[in-house]
Amino acid sequence: MLSEGFLEQVLARAGLSAPVLFEEVTRSTNDTALAMADEGAPEWTLVAAAHQTAGRGRLGRSWLDEPGRSLMFSLVLRPRLPPAHLGLISLLAGSAAAGAARECGASDAWCKWPNDLFVGESKAGGILAEARVAGGRVEHVVVGVGINVGEPPRGLPGAGAVVGAAEGELLEAFLRFFKHKYQPGHPAFQAAVVAGYGEVCRTIGKTVRATTVDGRLIEGTAVGLDDTGGLMIEAEGEAATVAFSEVLHVER
């Protein structure tokens, strides 16, 4: 069972020290963490909740949870990165989520680009990174993570979960994976994040349909990631990159 005391212990075991906040019920851990970041909360500030009433994912979607069946938390980060490279933070969180899920027993955990965690063929979690950028500089990034544990929410077709894992166990594994690779000032950071995500991303090699950065709808084969984490697609001899679009895996 999560608590503020437990969150402090988890951070300490990861070699970190930062403010923590745990709420039984909140609107959104990202909303709370963003407000704290705006007020100057330091890097690694950790916000978690047992239940969200207005959790959200990418493109305005809702994230639904059942109390006791989801790990939901947000981290405040202050990376020294150009705004164009912020997608790397989401990919790193995806790699950490997949690694943590595998460590906690979900050996078939993988990522769908850019921010979904799957276990087998079922979506078990998602990531939402929200940044504040001012004067061309990243002030802070809040990374929100939601992962179903034990059993998926009832009444949601296609939902999955990291079966058998406890919230605290999964959170601790995530923080260890993420902290180990989170080195935004290192010259090899970009390449390391892209390579690590490529190892757990099953979108690569799939036939996909998506909207490119210049607004064109394209269907082709996802062949890899560029150096900022964008998805590269080849279609009838043409190459294109997708940065912030939805991607549909097309089964044939």
Domain carrying residue 127: 4-200
Q: In the chain, where does DSSP find H-type helix?
A: 4-13, 29-38, 87-103, 167-181, 189-200
For the chain, helix (H) and strand (E) counts, in that order, are 5, 12
Is the domain of 196 the same as that of 221?
no
Q: Give the pLDDT confidence of 110-144 residue by residue, as tens digits.
A: 999 989 999 999 999 999 999 999 888 899 999 99
Q: Tokens at residue 249, please?
A: 């895996």
Which tokens belong to 157? 């077709």
CA 11 to chain centre: 18
Shared-domain flag, residues 98 and 120? yes
Same domain, yes or no: 74 and 192: yes
**How many whole angstroms separate alpha carbon 240 and alpha carbon 236?**
11
My answer on whether 52 and 107 are in the same domain is yes
Say if residues 89 and 143 touch (Cβ distance below 8 Å): yes
Domains of the chain: total: 2
* CB of 96 closer than 8 Å to CB of 178: yes
Q: Are residues 163 and 227 in the same domain?
A: no
Q: Which of 168, 184, 200 is the last residue of a domain?
A: 200
- Judge if 147 and 120 occupy the same domain: yes
pLDDT at 243: 82
Is residue 138 located within the same domain as residue 214? no
The predicted-structure confidence for 40-51, as pLDDT tens digits, reads as follows 999 999 999 988
Q: How far apart are CA 2 and CA 29, in angstroms?
A: 14
If asked whether residues 232 and 148 sit together in one domain, one would say no
Torsion of CA 15, 46, 184, 58, to 10 degrees: 150
The model scores a pTM over 0.85: yes
User: What digits encode the pLDDT tens for the residues 180-213?
Assistant: 999 999 999 999 999 999 999 999 999 999 887 7
Same domain, 153 and 231: no
Q: Are residues 99 and 215 in the same domain?
A: no
Question: Of all residues in the chain, what percent carry a pLDDT higher than 90?
Answer: 69
Q: Express each pLDDT in 60-90 by its tens digit.
A: 555 565 666 789 999 999 999 999 899 999 9
CATH code where residue 211 lies: 2.30.30
Phi and psi, residue 13, nearest 5°:
-65, -25
* Chain-centroid distance, C-alpha 173: 14
Contact assessment for residue 124 and residue 147, using Cβ atoms and an 8 Å cutoff: yes
Domain match, 17 and 56 both:
yes
Give me the amino acid identity at 125.
Answer: G
Between CA 51 and CA 23 the distance in angstroms is 8
Query: 86 - beta bridge partners?
Result: none
> Strand, coil or helix: what is 154?
coil
- Return the H-helix or E-strand segment holding 225: strand 217-225
Please report the pLDDT score of residue 13 as a whole number: 93
| One domain for residues 49 and 139 | yes
